[in-house]
Chain A
């Protein structure tokens, strides 16, 4: 019995060690990917800050309507869901998909038609399986989406909005709070909320007029604004893709770290078991030898 036990324990230790090697490697990979994702997020910051500033300035300058600010009866909503391509990332995919499903349910209860735009293999699989109406499933890969890819992605979202296929766009993704905390959240991308604009209009009309005369817009503020919005939206989407990617890597890193920790704990307790079994076997063998000797005498 003791011998069989020893073999079993040995095999288990071996297999846990192998698993640990994998989780350890995945942890290291996720760490380095997380670092590069963070760098990309930092590199993209100046662009979006300036973009946002300019947009606010134009908004403050003049009050006007744009097709991106229209508030219609919102019958069809496009829900863009950003998830990962692979599992083994703790609750990362689960959290974002769960939030998406809740959001869709509440939208449907309000009598709206929902179209889903999943990004990332896990999201595509999830919504296909549950028979949601899928708007576009060309983006199966969310891993390291390049700038040009995310540009064409947001262009397709904007085109659909302009063509009136849907009149509201919700984006659901995971935001990176820290290496340990990532939150799934949803934001409204389109139509653009115009609250700031109305606010400033009422507050300081005089200041507004003064500002209007200062900057020259060519061909007109409206056109500059309309040209700016698609860029703002692609910026928003690009940012959230980076954000979601960083979250995925962070979630994977944490999950793999605890898996490695668990594995080493398991190895410890298994080695203890193994040593005990080995000791028991030796004791038994000694016993047999001694009693054999005594029998001879």
Chain B
């Protein structure tokens, strides 16, 4: 019998905790170049992640979804490491808070006199949008 090694180690780390540490067969993340999926035996790879959804394939075959904020993804011989500022599983997302953050960021972006805050507001808006899109699908 041939055993195909098609799962790999995935580690998702945020500054506050290790968000996920375990085996998976496939993940999908959003990078600056678009969505990518990573299977086992991927070549060494590093890319930037933008705020967006993350899908992790579970043993049962279905996907568990989380909202990530911007960060980096690194594929090495030991497995895949995802470094992000924040990460939440779909069922942990506080939609109300995300909506408020979205509103606040949009207000700043609409106000020309606060142009120096645009960069930060944009990051916050992206995070909020990622949370909302993931959270809505599960609520």
Q: Are B85 and A147 in contact (CB under 8 A)?
A: yes
Note all chain A residues with C-beta closer than 8 A to B83: 47, 50-51, 54, 231
In the bound complex, how far is the Cα of B124 from the Cα of A111, in angstroms?
A: 38
Closest-by-CB residue of B relative to A61 is B46
Q: Are A234 and B120 in contact (CB under 8 A)?
A: no
Note all chain A residues with C-beta closer than 8 A to B70: 227
Note all chain A residues with C-beta closer than 8 A to B16: 40, 43-44, 147
Contact with A along B101-132 (1 / 0, CB 8 A): 00000000000000010011001100000000
**Among candidates B17, B18, B45, residue contacting A218 with C-beta atoms closer than 8 Å:** B45
In the bound complex, how far is the Cα of B43 from the Cα of A223, in angstroms?
A: 19
Quick check: which of A12-20, A152-160, A270-278 contacts chain B, the rest being far away?
Answer: A152-160
B33 within 8 A of A: yes
Contact with B along A48-60 (1 / 0, CB 8 A): 1011001000100
Q: Are B46 and A238 in contact (CB under 8 A)?
A: no
In the bound complex, how far is the Cα of B81 from the Cα of A54, in angstroms?
A: 10
B26 within 8 A of A: no
A215 within 8 A of B: yes
Q: Are A231 and B71 in contact (CB under 8 A)?
A: yes
Note all chain B residues with C-beta closer than 8 A to A227: 32, 48, 70, 72
A178 within 8 A of B: no
**Among candidates A156, A216, A224, A235, residue contacting B120 with C-beta atoms closer than 8 Å:** A156
Q: Are B81 and A215 in contact (CB under 8 A)?
A: no
* CB-CB contacts below 8 Å: A216-271 with B: 216-219, 223-224, 227-228, 231, 234-235, 238
Q: Are A155 and B46 in contact (CB under 8 A)?
A: no
Q: State the Cβ distance, B79 to closest chain A Cβ, in Å.
A: 12
In the bound complex, how far is the Cα of B48 from the Cα of A129, in angstroms?
A: 44
A46 within 8 A of B: yes
In the bound complex, how far is the Cα of B17 from the Cα of A215, in angstroms?
A: 27
Q: Are B119 and A159 in contact (CB under 8 A)?
A: yes
Count contacts on B: residues with CB < 8 A to the other chain: 28
Q: Which of B15, B48, B116, B119 has the most chain A CB atoms inside 10 A of its CB?
A: B15
Given A43-B16, A228-B72, A231-B72, are A50 and B120 also a contact pair (CB < 8 Å)?
no
Q: Are B44 and A224 in contact (CB under 8 A)?
A: no
Note all chain A residues with C-beta closer than 8 A to B116: 159, 163
In the bound complex, how far is the Cα of B124 from the Cα of A159, in angstroms?
A: 14
B14 within 8 A of A: yes
Q: State the Cβ distance, B29 to closest chain A Cβ, in Å.
A: 12
Contact with A along B88-111 (1 / 0, CB 8 A): 000000000000000000000000
Q: Are B13 and A219 in contact (CB under 8 A)?
A: no
Q: Are A155 and B81 in contact (CB under 8 A)?
A: no
Residues of B at the A interface (CB closer than 8 Å) are 13-18, 31-33, 43-48, 70-72, 74, 81, 83, 85-86, 116, 119-120, 123-124
The 6 A-B pairs with the shortest beta carbon distances in the complex, nearest first, are A227-B48, A215-B44, A218-B47, A47-B13, A47-B15, A44-B15
A-B contact pairs, 27 of them (CB 8 A): A40-B16, A43-B17, A44-B16, A47-B15, A58-B46, A147-B14, A147-B15, A147-B16, A147-B86, A151-B85, A156-B120, A159-B116, A159-B120, A215-B45, A217-B47, A218-B31, A218-B45, A218-B46, A218-B47, A219-B47, A223-B32, A224-B47, A224-B72, A228-B48, A231-B83, A234-B85, A235-B15
